[in-house]
Amino acid sequence: MAGRVLITRPIPEPGPDLLRESGLDVEIPSEDRSLTREELLRSVRGRDGVLCLLTDQIDAEVLDAASGCKVVANMAVGYNNIDVAAATSRGILVTNTPGALTESTADLTWALILAVARRVVEGDEEMRTGRFPGWGPLHMLGGDVSGKTLGLVGPGRIALAVAERAVGFRMSILYAGNRPNPAFDAIGARLVDLDELLAESDFVSLHVPLTDRTRHLIDSRALAKMKPTAYLINTSRGPVVDERALVAALDSRRIAGAGLDVYEDEPRMAPGLAGCRNAVLLPHLGSATAGTRAAMSRQAAQNLLAALAGRRPPDLVNP
C-alpha cells in the first residue's frame, strides 16, 4: 500500500511496524513530546493518514492543513480532541480504540477507590517521612469499601468492568445513563437517575465521554447531592468535573474525598487541589500499562490501514 502517514509522537509497537510493513511511508517525530500547534499544522500536510493522541487538538484548521488526508486514527477511546463534525464534512474518517483499555482503566479506577478510601498515599508518605507514631486505635481511619454502594455514571464498557470487580467486594451497584444495559442488570446493578445515584452512593465513579452535555456534569450542585461520607472517582475526562467546585467540596469536607486520574486543563490542576489531603491524584494513567498501550497502538494502526485500503475501519466514529 502506498501512502504517507504521520504518527504525531513516538508510540509503542506494533502500530508503527504494522504501518511500515504495509508499505506506508511513516513519519514519527523523534522527541517524546506533543507537537506544538505550528509543528502539527506543518506535519499533517500531504499525509494520507494521521495517527494521533488525545493531546493533539485536531480541529478544522488542522484538518484543512491535512487536505487529502483520508483518516485520523486516535490512539484513545475518548475522541473529544477531534472535531468529528469538521472531519465528516471534509470526508475524513475518524477512529478510536474502544475495548483495548477497558480492563486497565477499570483496574486503575479500583486503585483510586481503594487508595482514597483507605488513605494509601497518606500512609505511604507517613512511613517514608518517619512520622508513623505506631499502631493506634484512632490512627488514620478511612472509609469502608466492601458492602458499600458504588454509583457508576455512564453505562459503557469501562463502567461495566468496574462494576464486575465490585461484585467481589459485595457492593450494591447503581448506574446512571440514558439507556439500560442488560450486562449491568445481569450482575444485579440497578439503573437510577443521576440525582438518586449521587444521593445513594458511597463511591461515585465517572465513565462518560466528554461532550457538551457532560461538561461540568459534576458541578457544585451535583457535589452538594453527594453524601458527606462519599468519594468521587474520575478516570474519564477532567472537564466532566468542575474542578474548582470539587476543590471547595474537598476543602470543606462536603464530600469525604476524591480519586482523580484526569483534570480539566491537563497537565495543570485547579488551584488548591494539590493541597487537598483527601484527594489521590494520578497523572492520567488509566491506560498506562505496556500491554494496553501496545493493544491501542495495534488497534489504531489497524483502523488506519483499513481506511487507507478503502474498507470501513472497525472503530469508525463518524456518524
Give the catalytic positions in this structure: 237, 266, 284
Work out which of 54, 71, 108, 256 binds ligand DGY, going by CB under 6 A: 54
Binders of ligand DGY among residues 165 to 224 (CB under 6 A) are none
List of long-range contacts for 18-27, beta carbons under 8 Å, 24+ apart: 18/298, 18/301, 18/302, 18/305, 19/51, 19/301, 19/304, 19/305, 22/305, 24/48, 24/49, 24/308
Provide, rounded to whole angstroms, the least separation between the CB of residue 285 and ligand DGY: 8
Q: How many Å apart are CA 227 and CA 196, to the nearest integer? A: 11
User: Whose Cβ is closer to ligand DGY: residue 104's or residue 149's?
Assistant: 104
Q: Which stretch binds ligand DGY (CB under 6 A): 74-82, 110-118, 166-174, 252-260?
A: 74-82
Residue among 269, 216, 209, 206 nearest 82 (CA): 209
User: Whose Cβ is closer to ligand DGY: residue 289's or residue 318's?
Assistant: 289
User: Whose Cβ is closer to ligand DGY: residue 97's or residue 181's?
Assistant: 97
Tell whether residue 238 is a contact of ligand DGY (CB under 6 A).
no
Provide, rounded to whole angstroms, the least separation between the CB of residue 78 and ligand DGY: 3
User: Whose Cβ is closer to ligand DGY: residue 87's or residue 282's?
Assistant: 282
Binders of ligand DGY among residues 90 to 129 (CB under 6 A) are 101
Residue among 121, 111, 168, 164 nearest 142 (CA): 121
Full 3-state SS string of 175-215:
EECCCCCHHHHHCCCEECCHHHHHHHCCEEEECCCCCCCCC
Terminal CA-CA length for the chain? 27
Tell whether residue 239 is a contact of ligand DGY (CB under 6 A).
no
Tell whether residue 286 is a contact of ligand DGY (CB under 6 A).
yes
**Site size toward ligand DGY, by CB under 6 A:** 7
Catalog residues that contact ligand DGY under the rule CB under 6 A: 54, 76-78, 101, 286-287
